[in-house]
Structure 1
Amino acid sequence: MRLRSLSKNLLLRVLVAIVLGVVFGLFFPEWLARVFITFNGIFSQFLGFLIPLIIVGLVTPAIADLGRGAGKWLAVTAAIAYGSTIFAGLLAFLVAKASYPWLLGGDRSVNGLENPEDHALGGFFDITMPPVFDVMTALILAFCIGVGITCVKGNSLHRGFGELRTIVMRIVEKIIIPLLPVYIFGMFLSLTMNGQIVLVISTFLRVVILAFIMTVVILIIQYCVAGLVAKRNPFVMLKNMLPAYATALGTSSSAATIPVTLECTKRNGVDERVAGFTIPLCATIHLSGSTMKIVLFSLAIMTISGMPINTWQYIGFILLLGVTMVAAPGVPGGAIMAAVGILQSTLGFDETAVGLMIATYVAIDSFGTACNVTGDGAIAAVMDRMLKDKSGRLRDAPAKSTV
């Protein structure tokens, strides 16, 4: 398939773009760097405009393809995604509570780290592309229309959204994926020239290492559970998801990684209709990696700043964070922007703490996103098993895809 070859080529191009972005950031003249940063600004605006259309164009026909059982399986998928997100947050909380007293015990000053946005290298100009509607509206619209299609007779609307899916996927294949390496190059070029990578990682190096270890642990747990349910080798399944992991590592965008995640998920034996339903949905509602990272860094800031940590209050924060993550746009930094409100209202973060949180989160945003999208494949495998009867056919779904 076209996406199969795209995902293979993209893996190499993403890695090359990351390396070149860091290397060229050491000597690029400012005027030339601003050319790429200007492109990144325009590309980000277009991606933000496209995300609601991706959700409506992919989720709606995928729900409709599942037939009359779609409403039930939608609720099951959302419950599994929320449970996975909350589990990651609680696990990160327990690990941080146990390790931070000695891991960060000697660090009591955060005055040397500033918000990177205060010193960001800007582009020559900006082009604003407001989306037709926001992410939450797109989700609700996709749910309502998708389930509604399964409840009425006639195929006109179903065929229409199937054609919309084709249009959206063509845009992703012909525009988004080919330009992703350029976008990734500009992103790492900017981070290097602004000095954010060295500053942030040198300040929170121990937390970064812990976050990476936690990412691996969470993914192993997710795929062990998925492998047990689906009766497949969890480590083979994880290996098949590596292109999606690498793509998300470079883009920091769950939405931009959807086509690659879809292809990797299908390599794990997940039915095309199930993958088309769960992957775009989970790209928005399943943010286990982002939640884990927000928990680790917020607790690190509270620890080194001497802020009191109330266990029950923080557990309430995690439960609320899991809901808030649903509204997070699938673009770089979207999760932390959605979480700022409850960081202030629930944990009492002031402007300095919020700025510090954004600085540390955005600098290594890609690790959480990579965990998110890779975990989506595990949920898809579980749903594939639950949706199939003993003969291997999907329950409540047509025998063949309507794509």
Structure 2
Amino acid sequence: MSASSPSLLHRLKRTSLVTQIILGLIAGIALALFAPDVAKSTAFIGKVFVAALKAVAPILVFVLVMASIANHKHGQETHIRPILFLYLLGTFAAAVVAVVASTLFPSSLVLSTQDVAVTAPGGIGEVLQSLLLSVVDNPVSALMNANFIGILAWAIGMGVAIRHAGDTTREVLGDLSNGVTLIVRLVIRFAPLGIFGLVTSTLATSGFGALVGYAHLLAVLLGCMLFVALVMNPVIVFWKLRRNPYPLVLMCLRESGITAFFTRSSAANIPVNLELSKRLGLHEDTYSVSIPLGATINMAGAAITITVLTLAAVHTLGIAVDIPTAILLSVVAAICACGASGVAGGSLLLIPLACSLFGIPSEIAMQVVAVGFIIGVLQDSAETALNSSTDVLFTAAACLGEDEKAQRLA
């Protein structure tokens, strides 16, 4: 082979990750169509990939946030506060959009309510208690169970404490952060192979037949996410930058959202967002903290999922929802979304918290969670794409907005 014709492996390495993922997707569909028996045996590949994501995500958030805070020098300029405001505003706005869409286009579910009593709606005390218990969770338990709120609390506390340690300690922590990031990048490089296994085995086993009965619910979910990504988020960015937001919005969706759509993990997509933030010329001391933080608390997609599925259960059970209750649900959904796990399917497990607001017992709430897993093939991918792309979008909007403000005042 001549030097002018590179090997297949070399050409594959030079191909972008998104292109490799699309090729894996096409190959998976083809194998499922033409050799379904062989395709079923590829399920193990997908399981290994998902297990790897679940393994690296908690330690990644813990180490990156801790190292970023510990190595932040006193007096450095950052824009964390406006970014946090945008994160919370975006998550709450997404929940409001979901409430409006669910009211205009109510969904019904097939739920078994036999021998199950639906009590009167309660308050948000249980939700707040659960979040508080998550914050004070044992750090080892938080890492083992992917309790990202507990992980975040310990990472912030350790980072602040280590800021007062010696330079050597902080340098070691920085090297550890780089090492964990490298491992995550390695796992992500296997995304095309993992997606090939997931898509092939899923199509060969059940296809998309399971989604037919929930097409309306899925349409409401995806419609809300598209509206937030293409209308609500641009409005927020325009309010911050006072210029056409769509070049930045579309870049974030293309560079971050597509990758997150297929990996289905906000935490595992952190290196992609860090690289994009670097190419956008943002403040490293800002985005090195805001991007890992956003993977934990900036969950617009999760707020939509929690709200839409909860209101679908409410509509199915015939529970009346007034405007104050709907607003309260938006707040609860935003709070619950902040506790959503950074790996695939994390928001579904928080639906019972929102259902408890309406007195829906856990027996019924877990049936709603099961419905979420049925439509999770598309729902979770779209949710993660919205969450992760919004992390870098709001970070860029805050940084660019504060820079322009400083220039005007100068």
Same fold, TM exceeding 0.5? Answer: yes
The structure-2 alpha-carbon separation of the partners of 1:230 and 1:147, relative to structure 1 and needing over 3 Å to count, comes to farther
The structure-2 alpha-carbon separation of the partners of 1:74 and 1:275, relative to structure 1 and needing over 3 Å to count, comes to closer
The reply on whether 1:21 has 2:28 as its aligned counterpart is yes
Q: Take 1:71 and 1:335, find their aligned partners in 2: how far apart are those partners?
A: 34
For the 8 Å contact 2:91–2:334, the answer to whether it is kept is: yes
Per-residue displacement from partner, 1:342-384 (whole Å, max 9, x unpaired)? 4356451514334223323455211111111111122212332
The answer to which of 45-54 and 189-198 deviates more is: 189-198
**Match of residue 222 from structure 2:** 212
1:386 Cα deviation after fit: 6.4
**Match of residue 147 from structure 1:** 160
Q: Take 2:75 and 2:334, find their aligned partners in 1: how far apart are those partners?
A: 25
The structure-2 alpha-carbon separation of the partners of 1:305 and 1:232, relative to structure 1 and needing over 3 Å to count, comes to same
The reply on whether 1:177 has 2:188 as its aligned counterpart is yes
The structure-2 alpha-carbon separation of the partners of 1:354 and 1:172, relative to structure 1 and needing over 3 Å to count, comes to closer
RMSD, aligned α-carbons: 3.2
**Match of residue 127 from structure 1:** none
Per-residue displacement from partner, 1:93-130 (whole Å, max 9, x unpaired)? 02221333xxx5xxx66379xxxxxxxxxxxxxxxxx9
State how 1:345-384 maps to structure 2 within 5 Å: 346=358, 348=360, 350=364, 351-361=366-376, 363-384=378-399
1:136 Cα deviation after fit: 2.8
State how 1:183-262 maps to structure 2 within 5 Å: 183-195=194-206, 197-200=208-211, 202-220=212-230, 221-230=232-241, 233-241=244-252, 242-262=254-274
The answer to which of 184-193 and 380-389 deviates more is: 380-389
Q: Take 1:198 and 1:19, find their aligned partners in 2: how far apart are those partners?
A: 19
State how 1:255-334 maps to structure 2 within 5 Å: 255-304=267-316, 306-334=318-346
Instruction: Kindly provide the amino acid, as one letter, of the partner of residue 191 in structure 2.
Output: L
The structure-2 alpha-carbon separation of the partners of 1:308 and 1:27, relative to structure 1 and needing over 3 Å to count, comes to farther
Instruction: Kindly provide the amino acid, as one letter, of the partner of residue 368 in structure 1.
Output: E
1:132 Cα deviation after fit: 5.1
For the 8 Å contact 2:28–2:200, the answer to whether it is kept is: yes
Q: Take 1:231 and 1:62, find their aligned partners in 2: how far apart are those partners?
A: 30
For the 8 Å contact 2:58–2:143, the answer to whether it is kept is: yes
Q: Take 2:235 and 2:280, find their aligned partners in 1: how far apart are those partners?
A: 14
Q: Take 1:86 and 1:63, find their aligned partners in 2: how far apart are those partners?
A: 26
Q: Take 1:282 and 1:177, find their aligned partners in 2: how far apart are those partners?
A: 19
**Match of residue 117 from structure 1:** none
Q: Take 2:318 and 2:199, find their aligned partners in 1: how far apart are those partners?
A: 33
The reply on whether 1:49 has 2:55 as its aligned counterpart is yes
Instruction: Kindly provide the amino acid, as one letter, of the partner of residue 81 in structure 1.
Output: Y
**Large movers: runs of 4+ above 6 Å:** 5-8, 69-72, 389-392
1:47 Cα deviation after fit: 2.1
**Match of residue 18 from structure 2:** 11
The structure-2 alpha-carbon separation of the partners of 1:377 and 1:314, relative to structure 1 and needing over 3 Å to count, comes to same
Instruction: Kindly provide the amino acid, as one letter, of the partner of residue 398 in structure 2.
Output: M
The structure-2 alpha-carbon separation of the partners of 1:109 and 1:340, relative to structure 1 and needing over 3 Å to count, comes to closer
**Match of residue 401 from structure 1:** none
Q: Take 1:253 and 1:243, find their aligned partners in 2: how far apart are those partners?
A: 15
The structure-2 alpha-carbon separation of the partners of 1:111 and 1:317, relative to structure 1 and needing over 3 Å to count, comes to closer
1:75 Cα deviation after fit: 5.7
For the 8 Å contact 1:332–1:365, the answer to whether it is kept is: yes
Task: Kindly tell me the number of residue pairs found equivalent between the two proteins.
Answer: 361
Q: Take 2:352 and 2:82, find their aligned partners in 1: how far apart are those partners?
A: 28
State how 1:61-72 maps to structure 2 within 5 Å: 61-68=67-74
1:171 Cα deviation after fit: 0.8
Gaps (5+ residues) in structure 1?
113-129, 393-403
Q: Take 1:311 and 1:138, find their aligned partners in 2: how far apart are those partners?
A: 35
The structure-2 alpha-carbon separation of the partners of 1:74 and 1:318, relative to structure 1 and needing over 3 Å to count, comes to same
The structure-2 alpha-carbon separation of the partners of 1:305 and 1:84, relative to structure 1 and needing over 3 Å to count, comes to same
1:329 Cα deviation after fit: 1.8
Instruction: Kindly provide the amino acid, as one letter, of the partner of residue 249 in structure 2.
Output: L
**Match of residue 96 from structure 2:** 90
1:53 Cα deviation after fit: 1.5
The structure-2 alpha-carbon separation of the partners of 1:109 and 1:338, relative to structure 1 and needing over 3 Å to count, comes to closer
Q: 3-state DSSP class of the match of 1:25?
A: helix
Q: Take 1:195 and 1:176, find their aligned partners in 2: how far apart are those partners?
A: 27
Sequence identity percentage: 22
